[in-house]
Amino acid sequence: MDELLRDLNPEQIEAVTHGAGPLLILAGPGTGKTRVVTRRVAHLVRSGADPRRLLAITFTNKAAGEMRERTAALDVPSGEITMATFHAFAARLLRVDGRAAGIDPSFSIVDEDDRSALLRAAVAELMGTGADAARKTAAEVSRRISFFKNAGKGAEDLEREDPFAGRVWREYEARLRAMNGVDFDDLLVLAEKAVSGGGPGDRRVDWRAAYDHVLVDEYQDVNALQYRIARALCARTRNLCVTGDPDQSIYRWRGADVENILSFERDFPDARVVRLVRNYRSTGAILRAADRLIANNVRRKEKTLTAMKGEGEPVRLLSSGDDRDEAESIGAAAAAEIASGRAPSDIAILVRTAAQTRLLEQSLAARGIAYALVGGARFWDRREVRDVIAYLRLVANPRDSVSFERIVNVPRRGIGEKTVEALRAHAARTGIPAPELARGRGPWPEGLARERAKLAPFARLIARLEASAAAGVAALVRAVIDETRYEAWLAESEGPSADERIENVRELVNDAAQFDREGEGRGLNEYLETRALAGDADSYDPAAPRATILTMHAAKGLEFPVVVVAGAEEGFLPHARSSDRIEEIEEERRLLFVAMTRAKDRLLLSWAERRAVAGTILPRVPSPFLREIGPVAEDGGGRRRDDPFSRPGEDLFFGREPAPSHYPAFSAGDLVRHSFYGPGTITAVRGSGPEAKVTVRFRDGAEKQLIVEFAKLVRVAAPG
DNA sequence: GTTTTTGCACTTTTT
DNA sequence: GTGCAAAAAC
């Protein structure tokens, strides 16, 4: 046909040209998925689809931006197409139609920090303890509530399983409602309500008929709630196109459900299914290693990727004595790559946890290698930035008590915990939010007569800020900084980091000014929204001349000529916090699969014999997954700080003496010790050898299903 | 009410 | 080694 189909393979053409009706594109890593989706969008528009009636859902804001650029390059009026993440789309929908879901459209988006503060307060109240005792409980309860919300379940469902968590949910919900706040999960919950039937009937837009085509990317990481939204949005036309790869599902913990792919074929039995398996990204050696790894997942549809590139160099293994040596060797490898003419931006170092980055950063910095960090301390999490943003949020939403409490005494204006506590109590009694009380709306609390004098200037300050908001977001940010004399306060309150903080605050002014310039009639709410929903990966700029250090999760969807996987050890892969349940082990395996398949030409897997974890030095063993990958070229030692890539290496089976080569046979009644859970008794055994599953009852009464291969159980003679 | 000091718990992964 | 929160001192 036209140039849209040039350089596409037959499966890709099938996906691009598919007309009406449901379409499922199963796309392995590096199979040209992004290209197919952008061409498909262009093809739809050229075939007469109205771009204003197209909706493309992506996993990150950055992916949405990229799709916009790439479709624009194909002469598509991409500005007219709605491209956003589920969360951003939901937020926009609720600004228009919040009332249909029972929410005031001037709501604040409550971020993860605010959320945990609210939950901690709710838990503390219900337990009658201090905030400290509430912390751990709150973190646990928070995860459960979030998981239930994303599964499309309500407080009553959680209450049946865990009455306390259910009560916390209701209390938390009440607090959110009082401040007109909406957390990340609520965005989806409420959007689903607004889109499908159920809520109040005064909808301004018929969402079920608003789009002719809906496209959803990274479908394997979509949760039940998101799936419901997508399905409702295309209720009329059924023109739903989803793309994903079950082997790259790495957000199960956030409620993502691979079963969605199965439900898709169930809900749309007439769906066309296209499989993309020709990999154009990685060398044969890299692909083979990744394939051997993922083949170990039992709950999986068989699928083998075909390498379209040559064999390339073997995947390499770097063994180091400790984490410092590892960082040094990796830094040396990066330096050698650059010395041989490679661009720094071609190099990525992938880690499992954000905490691993520090030594790697130091190593790169010591060699003068510029690097970017994706996922780590973010600009928007800086205290000074959050302070200024809190003022903005209070202006946008006068009921935002979380922001109010954050800045009522920042900079210091003599309003202490006692005053805030009194306001909070009065707010609970009267139902009028604390920030409104502080501004003299509603009856003044008794016994706070003296505090009134201190609060009055604050009330006037907020009123002045409200007035300046009309001149744009940047004007408001400047007003906040000037009126509160924020920079002066920073300068005197903080010693060494004061300059950096002032710099950050000024950067915020720039950011707001840029928003004002680019935004067309968009206001404060939209500014706060885009910034609240800005993700980790969104800041990544592939064109910047820098190496990249990033978490494996943040690496999803990206590719690099050279990839180093740092810390390929048991404890990271699988992570010590994940359980021995097969679902979780398999997700950890998929995570390493995603990491490996980011590499185009060179892949280095690295581990260290010792590593400082939370302050203590621990002995480490290689990730059990490395054994599954099998032969790779090994770079012995690692205490040598020359280039691991350039050394000759013969193909060796990993770990000349496979770590624990014999697995003890257990039987019921055996007394054992687990490295983490401690002593216990075997109550049941299924299977034999390394794959055998044993049930162990530990001293606290908890029973765990463990796989002998991973559990490192030791038989003991006597209990304890 | 504010500042400083001590103590402790912490490290998955993120929209 | 770190960052946050309660306790102690100003």
pLDDT in tens, A396-437: 999 998 889 888 887 888 888 788 888 888 888 888 888 999
Is A301 designated active site?
A: no
Catalytic residue check, A642: no
Q: What is the tens place of the pLDDT at every residue in A582-625? A: 888 999 999 999 999 999 999 999 999 999 887 788 889 999 99
Least confident range of A27-36, A565-574, A684-693: A684-693
Which residues partner with A698 through β-bridges? Answer: A680
Q: Which residue is nearest to nucleotide B12 (CA to C1')?
A: A353
DSSP, res A618 = E
Tell whether the model's pLDDT for residue A660 goes beyond 50. Answer: no
| Nucleic strand C near CB of residue A416 (< 7 Å) | no
Strands A240-244 and A23-27: parallel
Q: Which of A71, A85, A220, A248 is catalytic?
A: A248
A662 token code pair? 């014999």
Catalytic position from the list A171, A186, A218, A588: A218
pLDDT above 90: percentage of residues in chain A: 45
Q: Is the pLDDT of residue A671 over 80?
A: no
Distance CA A329 to C1' B12 in A: 25
Residue A330 pLDDT? 95
DSSP H helical ranges for A151-211 = 155-161, 163-178, 184-195
**Strand C positions with any atom < 7 Å from protein CB?**
1-2, 5-6
A251 CA vs B15 C1’ separation (Å): 11
Enclosing H/E stretch for A465: helix A449-468
**Strand ranges (E), A17-94:** 23-27, 54-58, 82-85
Give the integer Cα–Cα distance in Å for A515 and A522.
9
- Banded pLDDT at A43 (limits 50, 70, 90): very high
- What average pLDDT score do residues A621-641 get? 72
DSSP-based three-state secondary structure for A425: helix
For residue A186, what pLDDT band results from cuts at 50, 70 and 90?
Answer: very high
User: What is the pLDDT confidence band of residue A716, given thresholds at 50, 70 and 90?
Assistant: low
pLDDT at A650 over 50: no
DSSP letters for A250-315: --GGGTB-THHHHHHHHH-TT-EEEEE-EE-SS-HHHHHHHHHHHTT-SSS-----EE-S---SPP
Measure the CA dihedral A46/A51/A57/A60, to 10°: 90
Q: For A659, which DSSP code?
A: S
* CA closest to C1 C1', residue: A615
Tokens of A363: 């190593």
Question: What length does chain A have?
Answer: 720
- C-alpha distance from residue A221 to each of A32, A88, A245, A400 (Å): 19, 16, 9, 32
pLDDT of residue A569: 94
Chain A 116-135 residues whose Cβ is under 7 Å from strand C: 130-132
In whole angstroms, B4 C1' to A509 CA is: 33
pLDDT higher at A594 or A638: A594
DSSP for A473-541, please give it.
HHHHHHHHHHHTTHHHHHHHH-STTHHHHHHHHHHHHHHHHHHHHH-SS--HHHHHHHHHT--SGGG--
Q: How many whole angstroms from its chain centre is CA A432?
A: 35
Tokens standing for residue A695: 């049930």
CB within 8 Å of A51: residues ≥ 6 apart:
A45, A76, A77, A78, A80, A81
- A226 catalytic per annotation: no
The Å distance, CA of A115 to C1' of B4, is 29
Q: Which residue is nearest to nucleotide B13 (CA to C1')?
A: A553
Give the integer Cα–Cα distance in Å for A165 and A123: 9
Residue A716 sits at φ, ψ, to 5 deg, of: -120, 155
> Mean pLDDT, chain A, as a whole number?
84
Whether the model pTM is above 0.75:
yes
Is the predicted pLDDT of residue A489 greater than 50, yes or no?
yes
A367 part of the active site: no
What are the CA-CA distances from residue A532 to residues A109, A179, A379, A473 (Å)? 7, 17, 12, 15
With H, G, I as helix, E, B as strand and everything else as coil, classify residue A572: strand
Check A33, A231, A611, A620 and give the catalytic one.
Answer: A33
Is pLDDT at A659 greater than 70 in this prediction? Answer: no
Q: In this predicted structure, which of A156-165, A585-594, A678-687 has the lowest mean pLDDT?
A: A678-687
pLDDT in tens, A305-356: 999 999 999 999 999 999 999 999 999 999 999 999 999 999 999 999 988 9
Residue A718 has pLDDT above 80, yes or no: no
A162 tagged catalytic: no
Q: Answer yes or no: is A417 CB < 7 A from strand C.
A: no
Q: How far apart are CA A591 and CA A252, in angstroms?
A: 11
Confidence of residue A292 (pLDDT cuts 50, 70, 90): very high
Cβ of A554 less than 7 A from strand B: yes
The answer to whether A615 CB sits below 7 Å from nucleic acid chain B is: yes
Cβ-based neighbour number of residue A650 at 10 Å: 8
- CA A368 – C1' C10 distance (Å)? 46
User: Tell me, what's the pLDDT at A649?
Assistant: 39
Share of chain A above pLDDT 70, in %: 86
